[in-house]
Amino acid sequence: MMRSSSNGGAMGGRAAGTGSGGKSLAPVDKEVDYANYFCTYSFLYHQKDMLSDRVRMDAYFNAVFENKHHFAGKTVFDVGTGSGILAIWSAQAGAKKFYAVEATTMADHARALVKANGLEHIVEVIQASVEDISLPEKVDVIISEWMGYFLLRESMYPSHARMWLAPIKSTLSDRKKNDLDGAMADWDNFSDEIKSYYGVDMGVLTKPFAQEQEKHYIQTAMWNDLNPLQVIGTPTIFKEMDCLTATVSEIEEVRSNVTSVINGHTTLCGFGGWFDVQFRGRKQDPAEQEIELTTAPSEHHCTH
């Protein structure tokens, strides 16, 4: 995947708490959070898109079924179960009990899917935010498909993972500049019409409009598939984290100074970011078969 960005290499998250700068971040209002984030996960078309991501699906499937000893006879908890696919796999791998928590009405579809696969005696779907529930027992395993765009987009909680950054070439930068020019030309026409028809001079707003549009078209990261041939410099690890030691403050805002050598004579168009996640288990209970999920540039395997 690609994250082309001109915002200085900073990536913010959704989590609330205290940042690395010591400033306390206000908690997000739940209704606002649902409207801006969770509501999209209540639609089957969105779940279909995620379930069609073979790179992620294969990684989780292999991580579960090639490490059944992590699930056999265990009580398992899923944060953000969505359609319930991880709950179903975990039950099929031998889980004794599975608590599947989903904040949206997708929970209804998850229950139906669990029942259709004959696993309702193992899997209990709970519609609620994870912060609002109290389970009747201690769980042995927590499983979740938590990674968002450039790893921390959804910021549910960390796992062992690495974030990469590399200089890239892309026609997207030219397209975005053309889009910006088009937006400003449209503003000029709009401003002229307002003054001509209604007698109001909009010129004082031209600069803030330009700043707003520049932020949207030029300074905002975007998702796109990235071919290895577009990488023009050495990739650098931007951030590495481990779920046993990482804290919320580490992922609220991630900043790093990186160095990359650009190969040959070419044009730098932006920076691409991707991540990989290792399913290793714990040191005391390691995976029998370590699985890696990577969103690195690829000619064949598109993912997000």
CB atoms within 10 A of CB 241: 20
Is 124 one of the catalytic residues? no
- The residue annotated as part of the active site, out of 120, 154, 193, 292, is 154
What's the CA dihedral at 6, 11, 17, 19 to 10 degrees? -70
In order of 176, 182, 229, 231, 256, the CA distances from 260 in angstroms are 24, 33, 16, 11, 13
Secondary structure percentages of the chain, helix, strand, coil, to 5 = 35, 25, 40
Sign of the four-CA dihedral 214, 217, 223, 227: negative
Give the separation between CA 113 and CA 85, rounded to whole angstroms: 9
Least Cα distance to 30 among 13, 49, 16 occurs for: 16
Is 154 one of the catalytic residues? yes
- The residue annotated as part of the active site, out of 31, 131, 137, 145, is 145
Give the separation between CA 150 and CA 13, rounded to whole angstroms: 11
Q: Which residues are marked as active site?
A: 145, 154
